[in-house]
Structure 1
């Protein structure tokens, strides 16, 4: 497909084993700022050039639809990460069939960027060229995900990201053994611009309505909340202030504490929202740690009615602080609960998927290069014990085959244990090399790129399965 305006038509073309940008214009001036070779063809000027940052930036200057937008004003939004940089055309095709859902088509965490040696700008570039390939002519979001440092914020700002998911999870404290007043006094109260006495006075003795219940807040509830999340609030504000003080374009923030081991209680959510508001933060979405059952690459494994109650309460709390979205991370492949999530949040929800699109690429590898798949499988399986520490997963290596002889590889990819092992082993496998020094990452890209039409169809169908319930919410 092409992307076109009055002065310029842009296409992604295959030149041998390489994908290239091709621009067609009536005047040479329309090609100013692009890199590549220009030739005359049928009375037009045609430029063929690399998929480079310079060309991505020039395309964004010419086509407003290639510039990321804020997503907070859209009731329903879904993010679809792209670890290999080739999934955007398929993701865009899925969203084109569900126009009520705001797409976030450049979404990757700093952790994933670092594991794959990608920059924030390369993530943006891959999205831009993927959107050209899809003929995309409407808005999209760009989420620099799970940021834990000001350096990560700076990387996202420089690359033009507009959405920043600030993750203070490393500052959440384990309170399962109980807390006392002494622990609460030992917080960075100067950073919180507060005192323990004032905090207790604000919350202890209050009754808070969270929809599914009335919470009678005790002093112990407050002490537990401030010890568990007080440092996280301080870190959230440090990151947030750096973001807004350094942004040269419009940005928005999400706060996320979902990648921690401990459930966020309803009062703890209320406490965090109240304190962030008091300290001057604004945000469009919040991701608490929900009830158990959210694992990478699999359908929801927990109690659905418990999840419904959980989401209804978190949504009710959000309504008391401006009505921000409730964000569902590790949200891919949770087909059994999407309608439930939409109902429980009144459709005011943000879903994030990532590795599921990567697994579509793995399926292409299995179909067309079984030897490369075997290498990826062996490395991912060996690395799983270490890689699983960063994710909520429950796969067991001993339930999966060591030899792939006679194994249906596509069926293996779609099985629960193998799916999670491949999902979290991407960093080790794609960073490995063959004995001759050939990068598995380069081999992966070459195979998927050679079958890009098939890959696009596979991604579009799979992501499309996620979007239907959210499209229904958007049109209510």
Structure 2
């Protein structure tokens, strides 16, 4: 690399005074350029073997530049120009200079959207789409299971997102979510890695079996609790109606109360413990997942959970009920949309009453309900979590560029679906409608990314596909990433179309699923 030429690039950048449209060196990635007095920082893009290789360039005072991990350097008067990798040391050095590249919490932000880039190369495209939208992106959002399946760490996720923020010059703020952490060890790991938000998955404290109790079993279990506790619950809730807005009220029958207590009070107590041990000391953004249940969250369940937190002076940033209908992975909402809207009104009123926003989990592709969520959400806004379908957009690239390879991947996914049967609930497990591998060929392989059942097969098998080995070598992973890196522009295009459909409906820029799909060119023909 010609360091003297890079010094000339620095002079040109300083002289340009912020207008970088006509820089002579097209390898300088203009959105990344930062000038502070006469210190200059940017990312260089070089093409090697059809892939973009990225290098950090720093030009600053000699003593200060020593904080960076330099691969090479050159002196220029009292300045030093260094080049370095996009690694952890260099990101932390930049973060000391530009606080906006560090993740923040969602406190005070009305609209937030989780993106959960599992592959580590989607954030640049997402940031270009989010500029000017008024929505805070949660770029880093990975569960422990996802980290294990992808052989990544929380630090990997933070750095992949953080470097994209610097590279795109995105100064509007972003969030790092330690997603679906279940125990103190996992929470501590996420916090120490730099997550600014915690999504507490209280699955192990939620007692789903109670939903199947008879009235007699429910009474016996409830009345076996400490008498003072039972008396307090009865006095507070039993046969009471809480008018929470002009349009919504919550009533507690005996069964409503007993189910709410026996299913959720353990989770409430656990959330209180996590709040005091981690959220307050580290000033974190707190989300609580109530949705790990076998039945939808009733208004009474939701009100009880929120009110018991409020009694302890706790207001989460977001809370995720299990909404009516099915939020299966990778496909649209399944259920009566009108009933979803009617029940969303009540859940939204509860959230507004207690001062937080609702969180919609498994939000990818739920185009039928986004307009409702956007229209009905009030003062505190909304939070939507998507993630895995970025992987399906990556597979769209594979199908477009190397359809034969895509056919091979689908065959493996279809034949090994039992690998993930215990992780997910999805129709492709049971209805037998997913196309058989022998019906898929290079001519029709793109249809796999359009059908619900084939999408679910591919979506849920990302870990098995990328970790499959033969003779100690990956079967698919290396070739998959090679194709993706060589076709990053196409991947970026698919990502933007995919997420723009979601955002336009949430923001009222389109009214129906059909309208938003018509707005963007059909992907299947590309």
TM-score by length of 2: 0.82
Structure 2 CA distance for aligned equivalents of residues 231 and 26 of structure 1: 55
In the alignment, which of 335, 353, 362 is matched to residue 367 of structure 2? 335
Q: Deviation digits for residues 140-177 of structure 1, max 9, x if unmatched? A: 11111111111111121112111111111232222223
In the alignment, which of 343, 354, 360 is matched to residue 321 of structure 1? 354
8 Å Cα contact 1:90-1:458 kept in structure 2:
no
8 Å Cα contact 1:365-1:372 kept in structure 2:
yes
8 Å Cα contact 1:105-1:142 kept in structure 2:
yes
In the alignment, which of 227, 234, 238 is matched to residue 262 of structure 2? 227
**Superposed counterparts of 1:23-422, under 5 Å:** 23-40=57-74, 45-96=80-131, 98-173=132-207, 174=209, 175-178=211-214, 179-185=217-223, 195-211=229-245, 212-244=247-279, 247=282, 250-322=283-355, 324-346=356-378, 348-395=381-428, 396=431, 399-403=434-438, 404-422=440-458
Structure 2 CA distance for aligned equivalents of residues 36 and 380 of structure 1: 43
8 Å Cα contact 1:13-1:22 kept in structure 2:
no
Relative to 1, partners in 2 of residues 1:21 and 1:185: Cα closer, same or farther, differing over 3 Å?
Answer: farther
Relative to 1, partners in 2 of residues 1:26 and 1:234: Cα closer, same or farther, differing over 3 Å?
Answer: closer
Q: Tell me how far 1:293 sits from its aligned partner.
A: 2.7
Structure 1 CA distance for aligned equivalents of residues 306 and 45 of structure 2: 48
Structure 1 CA distance for aligned equivalents of residues 98 and 507 of structure 2: 26
Relative to 1, partners in 2 of residues 1:295 and 1:150: Cα closer, same or farther, differing over 3 Å?
Answer: same
Give secondary structure in 2 for the equivalent of 1:94. helix
Unmatched 5+ residue regions in structure 1? none
Structure 1 CA distance for aligned equivalents of residues 281 and 151 of structure 2: 25
Give secondary structure in 2 for the equivalent of 1:373. helix
Relative to 1, partners in 2 of residues 1:427 and 1:12: Cα closer, same or farther, differing over 3 Å?
Answer: farther
Q: Deviation digits for residues 42-68 of structure 1, max 9, x if unmatched? A: 987443333322222223222222111
Taking only aligned residues, the RMSD between alpha carbons, in angstroms, comes to 2.5
Q: Which residue of 2 aligns with 1:10?
A: 42
Higher-RCO chain (CA-CA 8 Å, sequence separation at least 6): 1
Structure 1 CA distance for aligned equivalents of residues 92 and 222 of structure 2: 49
Give secondary structure in 2 for the equivalent of 1:350. strand
Structure 2 CA distance for aligned equivalents of residues 30 and 256 of structure 1: 44
8 Å Cα contact 1:210-1:316 kept in structure 2:
yes
Q: Tell me how far 1:378 sits from its aligned partner.
A: 2.9
8 Å Cα contact 1:77-1:351 kept in structure 2:
yes
Give secondary structure in 1 for the equivalent of 2:257. helix
Relative to 1, partners in 2 of residues 1:362 and 1:376: Cα closer, same or farther, differing over 3 Å?
Answer: same
Q: Tell me how far 1:35 sits from its aligned partner.
A: 1.9
Structure 2 CA distance for aligned equivalents of residues 262 and 315 of structure 1: 19
Give secondary structure in 2 for the equivalent of 1:180. helix
Q: Tell me how far 1:356 sits from its aligned partner.
A: 1.4
State which drifts further: 82-91 or 328-337: 328-337
8 Å Cα contact 1:210-1:266 kept in structure 2:
no
Relative to 1, partners in 2 of residues 1:358 and 1:103: Cα closer, same or farther, differing over 3 Å?
Answer: same
Give secondary structure in 1 for the equivalent of 2:342. helix
8 Å Cα contact 1:210-1:317 kept in structure 2:
yes
Q: Deviation digits for residues 80-129 of structure 1, max 9, x if unmatched? A: 11000000011111101x42111111111222112222111110011012
Relative to 1, partners in 2 of residues 1:279 and 1:413: Cα closer, same or farther, differing over 3 Å?
Answer: same
State which drifts further: 254-263 or 394-403: 394-403
8 Å Cα contact 1:432-1:440 kept in structure 2:
yes
Structure 2 CA distance for aligned equivalents of residues 31 and 446 of structure 1: 34
Relative to 1, partners in 2 of residues 1:439 and 1:122: Cα closer, same or farther, differing over 3 Å?
Answer: farther
8 Å Cα contact 2:59-2:80 kept in structure 1:
yes
Q: Deviation digits for residues 316-346 of structure 1, max 9, x if unmatched? A: 1112212x10111111112222111112222
Q: Tell me how far 1:130 sits from its aligned partner.
A: 2.0
Larger Rg: 2
State which drifts further: 213-222 or 407-416: 213-222
Q: Tell me how far 1:185 sits from its aligned partner.
A: 4.4
State which drifts further: 385-394 or 342-351: 385-394
Structure 2 CA distance for aligned equivalents of residues 343 and 352 of structure 1: 18
8 Å Cα contact 2:404-2:442 kept in structure 1:
no
Structure 2 CA distance for aligned equivalents of residues 48 and 408 of structure 1: 46
Q: Tell me how far 1:224 sits from its aligned partner.
A: 1.5
Relative to 1, partners in 2 of residues 1:102 and 1:372: Cα closer, same or farther, differing over 3 Å?
Answer: same
Q: Which residue of 1 aligns with 2:10?
A: none
